[in-house]
Amino acid sequence: MAELPRYRGPFGVPQAERLLWRAGFGPRRGEAAQLAKLGLDAAVLSLTRPAGEKWVGPTPRDDKGRRLAPGDAWGHDHLWWLDRMVRTSRPLVERMTLNWHDWFATSNSGVGSQQLMMAQNRLLRRYSLGSFRKLLIAITANPAMLLWLSGTENTKDAPNENYGRELMELFTLGEGNGYTERDVREQARALTGWTYRWKRGKGATDFRFDPKRHDTGMKVIFGKKGTFSWRDSVALTLQHPKHAPFFVEKLWSYFVPEPPSASTRAGLEALYRDSFEVRPVLEAILRHPALYTGPRMVKPPVVYTAGLLRGLGRGVDTSSWVWLSENAGQRLFYPPNVAGWDDERWLDTNSFQGRWGIANTALEKFILGEKKRKSVKVPNDPEAIVKGALALLGNPTIRPETHKELLSFARGSLAGATGWKAEAYPPLVANAVRQLLAVSPDLQTC
Amino acid sequence: MRRLLLPVLALALLVAGAAPATGGTEAESYVQVVEKEWSLVMSRLSVRAGRVTIEAVNFGTDAHDLVVQSKAKGSKPVKFKQMDPRGRTERTLRLPAGRYALWCSLPGHKAKGMKATLTVRA
């Protein structure tokens, strides 16, 4: 088997920035330069094999200055996780947790318990860079998933095909890819037995597998015969020849917008097939030339938000992020359906308005308001204003044409600003340039 | 007379088991009550005495409200505003230790199962 392609071009700040955005939530000030100094291999390993977690930045608070209670207060779940994305020193762990949340999309609208959703979130994080086999076993038995996809309603007397179908269609094989409707029915039988106890005031609790509720009869799944149970169901889908190609292509798509070549796909499958370990596949993807030389990807709304805050050095200090993110199309813990978020919808006229609001709210703490306009001298100098905006947002790499547009806007706005306008206009123009930079295509994509 | 009534009212509510909490830096507990046909599910069954923010969230398809009342004798109920589906409401109360009944007061909802008990620990 030929070695997988490895990026061999320059690994400078622009490349390090892209890596940090695709494998995390963007750089804090100076982080891209530090990562670039490591070189590609060490940079990738610093992400895939990170040191212990160190939280960087202020403790998160809601609008009323209260500490967060992610299991007990509406919106605090979203804020808690956004805070992790902002303050983490292990961005790939957190990004993969987000990717798994999309892959095994579970919505609290169907679960009805922030506590159970938080438990699922911890599970996704625990297996973020590890074994997909262990992750799949754990998610099959996870209480939030059992409620969401009717696992506890699936009994030997009344099989429910919901989880059995999505296990294959969305999580392991792909729609109609290597299985039949009979396999769906037989998988449902194999997955019977899960139940819970209802306690007044607490709701569903004590989730467990009850052999008395399980269908112990002979089943035929993918042409194989056996008295399969739920663990066999998981094992059979992982062993299916269509699983490894599905897995590597789906994992790849979180990092690179164009599908892998046939040889790259084969190489990634070879890394994954027998071990089901995620880390080696991730390392190969993060070193692949396609990540550095291919087209840009639109940043998901929460990634964009966390990245803005990281670049600005600002923490989570308002509950507005919840509804702003919802407006932009991504409320954490509430994916639109079991297929997850549709990343082709990240930029439409509705969601762009949400992103405008995100940028506006991120920058509001730095706005040159009336008092600041009097105390902070902003030079009547378009170049300095654009330079200042870039510095505020962490000096992101932007295209020359974007720089030119911002400069042209600043020049045009300051033209003829004489007399009292010479002092009044520059701070207003600076505020506008910052907003335009934050919503530019350069910062919406990576 | 009005100035005297307010502290007396606050004292009465405290005695009754629940009082609106005023701002401060005291540690605060939270409990979320998810309401849907026909259950109340709390994010936790017990909280520490003191400032408690109770948030009701309507995950159902009918309107619901929430009433909180100490099980101590002579207590008065605290009623939250009614919520449409997908609505929510919250109140921060000062709760002494004890057991508190929670229920939806819309006709027939409590009888169908929309009730729960919250324990407030000392």
Whether the CB of A197 is below 8 Å from some CB of chain B: the reply is no
Quote the DSSP letter at residue A172.
Answer: I
Half-sphere exposure (CA, 13 Å, Cβ side) for A209? 13
Domain C-terminal end among A274, A293, A312: A293
Q: Please, which pLDDT band fits residue B10 given cuts at 50, 70 and 90?
A: very low
Q: Is the residue at A345 inside a domain?
A: no
Could you identify the residue written with the tokens 């020849």?
A241
Q: Please, which pLDDT band fits residue A272 given cuts at 50, 70 and 90?
A: very high
A326 Cβ contact list (under 8 Å, min separation 6): A334, A354
Q: Please, which pLDDT band fits residue B12 given cuts at 50, 70 and 90?
A: very low
Q: Phi and psi of A428, rounded to 5°?
A: -65, -40
Quote the DSSP letter at residue B106.
Answer: S
Q: Is the residue at A68 inside a domain?
A: yes
Quote the DSSP letter at residue A277.
Answer: B
Structure token digits, residue B98? 């004890």
The one-letter code for the residue type at A424 is A
Could you identify the residue written with the tokens 């007044």?
A200
Q: Phi and psi of B40, rounded to 5°?
A: -120, 125
Check residue B27 and give left, alpha or beta (phi > 0: left; psi -120 to 50: alpha).
Answer: beta
Asked if the Cβ–Cβ distance from A72 to B30 is below 8 Å, we say yes
Q: Is the residue at A165 inside a domain?
A: yes
What pLDDT digit, counting tens, does each position of A173-212 carry?
999 999 999 999 999 999 999 999 999 999 999 999 999 9
B45 → closest Cβ in A76, A109, A202 = A202
Give the whole-angstrom CA distance, residue A80 versus residue B34: 19
Q: Residue A298 in contact with residue A444, Cβ under 8 Å? A: yes
Q: Are residues A152 and A17 part of one domain?
A: yes
Q: What are the Cα distances from residue A189, in Å, to A153, A158, A197, A217?
A: 12, 9, 21, 8
B34 → closest Cβ in A66, A76, A112 = A112
Domain regions of chain B by residue span: 2-121
Q: Are residues A276 and A382 part of one domain?
A: no
Domain limits for position A217? 13-293
pLDDT at A1: 56
Q: What are the Cα distances from residue A181, in Å, to A134, A148, A165, A168, B19?
A: 26, 21, 9, 11, 59
C-alpha of A123 from chain center: 15
Q: Residue B105 in contact with residue B68, Cβ under 8 Å? A: no
Q: Which fold has domain B2-121?
A: Immunoglobulin-like (2.60.40)
Q: Are residues A60 and A145 part of one domain?
A: yes
Q: Residue A344 in contact with residue A398, Cβ under 8 Å? A: no
Chain B (31-70) residues lying within 8 Å, Cβ to Cβ, of chain A? 31-32, 34, 36, 39-45, 53, 55, 57, 59
Q: Is the peptide bond before A323 cis (omega within 30 degrees of 0)?
A: no
Give the whole-angstrom CA distance, residue A275 versus residue A79: 35
B28 → closest Cβ in A66, A71, A200 = A66
pLDDT at B14: 40
- Contacts A202 to B, Cβ<8 Å: 41-42, 45
A73 → closest Cβ in B41, B45, B55 = B55
Q: What is the ipTM of this complex?
A: 0.89
Parallel/antiparallel/unpaired status of strands B98-103 and B67-70: antiparallel
Angle between helices A76-87 and A114-126 (to 10 degrees): 20
pTM attached to this predicted model: 0.94
Could you identify the residue written with the tokens 């009979």?
A182
pLDDT score of B27 more than 90: no
pLDDT at A377: 80
Q: Is the residue at A31 inside a domain?
A: yes
A158 Cβ contact list (under 8 Å, min separation 6): none
Q: Residue B98 in contact with residue B69, Cβ under 8 Å? A: no
Torsion over CA: A182, A183, A187, A190 (sign): positive
What pLDDT digit, counting tens, does each position of A201-231 carry?
999 999 999 999 999 999 999 999 999 999 9
- Contacts A72 to B, Cβ<8 Å: 30-32, 43-44, 55
Q: Phi and psi of B29, rounded to 5°?
A: -100, 160
How many structural domains comprise chain A?
Answer: 2
pLDDT at A20: 98
What pLDDT digit, counting tens, does each position of A124-169 carry?
999 999 999 999 999 999 999 999 999 999 999 999 999 999 999 9
Most confident of A93-102, A422-431, B20-29: A93-102
Give the whole-angstrom CA distance, residue A200 versus residue B39: 8
Q: Residue A256 in contact with residue A288, Cβ under 8 Å? A: yes
A73 Cβ contact list (under 8 Å, min separation 6): A62, B30, B32, B53, B55
Domain C-terminal end among A265, A293, A321: A293
DSSP string, A424-444: HHHHHHHHHHHHHHHTSHHHH
Nearest by Cα to A69 from A80, A85, A81: A80
Domain C-terminal end among A241, A273, A293: A293
pLDDT score of B6 more than 60: no
Could you identify the residue written with the tokens 């190969």?
A284
Q: Please list the helix, strand and coil fractions of chain B in percent, rounded to the nearest 5, in that order.
A: 15, 45, 40
Parallel/antiparallel/unpaired status of strands B39-42 and B98-103: unpaired
- Contacts A326 to B, Cβ<8 Å: none
A198 Cβ contact list (under 8 Å, min separation 6): A204, A205
pLDDT at A344: 86
Q: Is the residue at A280 inside a domain?
A: yes
CA dihedral A316, A320, A321, A324 (to 10 degrees): -160
pLDDT score of B82 more than 80: yes
- pLDDT over 70 for what percent of chain A? 98
pLDDT score of A411 more than 60: yes
What pLDDT digit, counting tens, does each position of A287-296 carry?
999 999 999 9
Whether the CB of A65 is below 8 Å from some CB of chain B: the reply is no
Q: Are residues A192 and A83 part of one domain?
A: yes
Check residue A39 and give left, alpha or beta (phi > 0: left; psi -120 to 50: alpha).
Answer: left
